[in-house]
Every structure is written in structure tokens, then in C-alpha cells.
Amino acid sequence: MLLFENGGATQVGFLKFNFTKKAMTNMEAEHMLFALRTFSLEERGFEVNLNNCILVDVFSEKFFKAANIDLTKESTSKLCREIKEKWPLL
């Protein structure tokens, strides 16, 4: 769900609901928020404030906000390299 200000004129962030059968870890939430924030920037052309990147884990009744983009970026890049090595046709 996209979040807007100014009567819908300015997109400022997003709200994502996660429906799973187990609670998300903090790192899983950070990776998902990083991916969504990156998509917003690269595909939609806008950079959102970290406070406006919200993930609701319905199972655990918790919400997460993006915290450390630099740390998550490094970790996500490493995981993507591992996936690429294991499945080069992806």
C-alpha cells in the first residue's frame, strides 16, 4: 500500500502487510523493507524516508520500520551473490 501526503499529490512511503504462518525475524523484515525501498527508488523514481517504510507482520502482530539501509544493502548484496552462484540462470 502506497502512502501519500498533500491529498494524494506526493508519495511519501509504503505500508506492507506480511501474511505467513510464523513470525518474521528482524533481519527478514529489514531485507524486505530494503527491497521495497529499492524498488520505489529504481522503478518508481522516488526515495522514501525510512520512517515511512513500514512492514506489518500479521502473524506476530508486530510492525517494523526500515532501520539501517547501509548494513542491509551489504547483507542483501552478499545474499544475492550467493543466489547467483547457486542458480546462475535466475
Domains of the chain, residue spans: 2-86
83 neighbors 64 (Cβ within 8 angstroms)? no
Output the CA–CA distances (angstroms, integers) from residue 80 to 74, 77, 83, in the order listed: 10, 5, 5
Q: Which helix (H) or strand (E) holds 57?
A: strand 53-57
- Place 55 in a pLDDT band, splitting at 50, 70 and 90: very high
72 neighbors 25 (Cβ within 8 angstroms)? no
**Cα angle 11, 42, 64; round to 5:** 60
pTM for the predicted model, two decimal places:
0.74
pLDDT of the residue at 36: 84
Quick check: 67 pLDDT over 80? no
Quick check: 60 pLDDT over 90? yes
Of residues 67 and 64, more confidence is placed in 64
